[in-house]
Amino acid sequence: MTATLKTEYPRLILQAKTAADLMTANPVSISEKATLREALALLTDRGIKAAPVIDNAGRPIGVLSGTDLLIHDRECVDHLRAAPEFYNRADLCLSSGEKLGEGFEVERVDSTCVGDVMTPAVFSVAPEAPAARVIEEMVGLKVHRLFVVDETGVLVGVISALDVLRRMTQQTRREARAVK
């Protein structure tokens, strides 16, 4: 039988009082009218997993995540016409009949818009919402992010689970004894 040692870990303290203290201000967002190709480039280039989708007035209307893109890709089957077994490069042309020059290739581009694929759920809080309520809502709703909107409904920030963790600090043992 082995004895297990009890390890004491310092308490974590949330160093934020409001949603405004937790949020990432002026978040990267994408228009509902952007193409999926543009959205994929945005998520990839910025190294983010999701982005709020906004309307023309800057109000959040949904969120587009990498998962939304993968689901669309899996469900969207585009069958191309069969290519002949042997063909001459000079025989290749666009659907308009225009011949392809040397070095050009034809690519079928998905023209689907972000608004057609996004998750149309908007979970939001006001900037002055208490930080504890923000965390309770994220846990209760089982979401990774909440939008922060001003009194007119315009997106001013996003709070991700990582934003919450960044605001956590370790309480020293001396501070913990003083609290008891």
Region at 58 (left for phi over 0; alpha for psi -120 to 50; beta for the rest): left
> Is 137 contained in some domain?
yes
Domain residue limits at 159: 12-75+87-179
> Is 51 contained in some domain?
yes
pLDDT in tens, 83-113: 555 555 556 666 677 766 666 665 667 789 9
Residue 82 neighbours by CB distance under 10 Å: 6
> Is 82 contained in some domain?
no
Following DSSP, what letter does each residue of 145-157 receive, concatenated? EEEEE-TTS-EEE
> Is 4 contained in some domain?
no
> Is 6 contained in some domain?
no
CATH code for the domain of 143: 3.10.580.10
> Is 103 contained in some domain?
yes
In degrees and rounded to multiples of 5, residue 142 shows phi and psi of: 60, 50
How far apart are alpha carbons 51 and 30 in whole angstroms? 7
> Is 81 contained in some domain?
no
> Is 68 contained in some domain?
yes
Following DSSP, what letter does each residue of 39-59 receive, concatenated? HHHHHHHHT-SEEEEE-TTS-
pLDDT in tens, 103-151: 666 566 778 999 999 999 999 999 999 999 999 999 999 999 999 999 9
Q: How many domains does the chain have?
A: 1
Q: What is the pTM of this model?
A: 0.72
